[in-house]
């Protein structure tokens, strides 16, 4: 019963099951992860391709159409291909618009509006989106930060039954800045 209610809620929010999208032409590679409340354009899924090892954080929207002209004298919907390469992370709340290509080895920051192509090996953020660094620079910066900041083991995650003591410790250690978790 609970799963049935979840399914109804997902449909009301516009979430179509991945298998349905694939049957209707969505191309998806291996190891694709899509968190809750993601929406992939259900009206034109065959215009969207997603590579291998791609992760969508919660509330990512991928659109292959733009209906903004329907109420104008143009009275047509713009459509375009969307291509997402391999080894891509798309942050929470990101909207990917029609006619864009996201390259391989890319990180898209949370809340971004992807309205243009993003080259391989890039970190891009913002509204409108812009490339802020390459992957190697981003990794180097964060490896240096990792040496200075708190690192928490997997036991500090909900799925590993984090304790109240661990939660308090984490909050205390993060009061002066960012940290990391395995």
Catalytic residue annotation: 61
Q: Which of 109, 10, 15, 8 is nearest to 62 (CA)?
A: 15
Cα–Cα distance list, 15 to 29, 40, 42, 47, 180 (Å):
19, 8, 9, 17, 31
Q: Under 8 Å CB-to-CB from 55, ≥6 apart: which residues? A: 32, 33, 34, 35, 88, 89, 90
């Amino acid at each position: 019963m609970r799963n049935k209610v979840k399914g109804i809620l997902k449909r009301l929010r516009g979430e179509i099951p991945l298998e349905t999208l694939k049957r209707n032409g969505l191309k998806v590679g291996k190891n694709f992860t899509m968190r809750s409340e993601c929406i992939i354009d259900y009206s034109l899924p065959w215009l969207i391709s997603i590579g291998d090892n791609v992760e969508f954080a919660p509330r990512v929207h991928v659109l292959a159409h733009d209906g903004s002209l329907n109420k104008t004298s143009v009275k047509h919907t713009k459509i375009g291909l969307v291509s997402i390469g391999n080894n891509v992370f798309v942050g929470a709340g990101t909207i990917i618009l029609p006619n864009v290509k996201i390259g391989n080895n890319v990180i898209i920051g949370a809340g971004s509006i992807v309205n243009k192509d993003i080259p391989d090996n890039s970190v891009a953020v913002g509204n409108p989106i812009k490339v802020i660094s390459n992957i190697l620079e981003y990794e180097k910066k964060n490896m240096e930060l990792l040496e200075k900041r708190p690192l928490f083991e997997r036991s500090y995650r909900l799925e590993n039954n984090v304790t109240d003591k661990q939660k308090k410790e984490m909050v205390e250690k993060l009061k002066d800045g960012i940290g990391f978790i395995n």
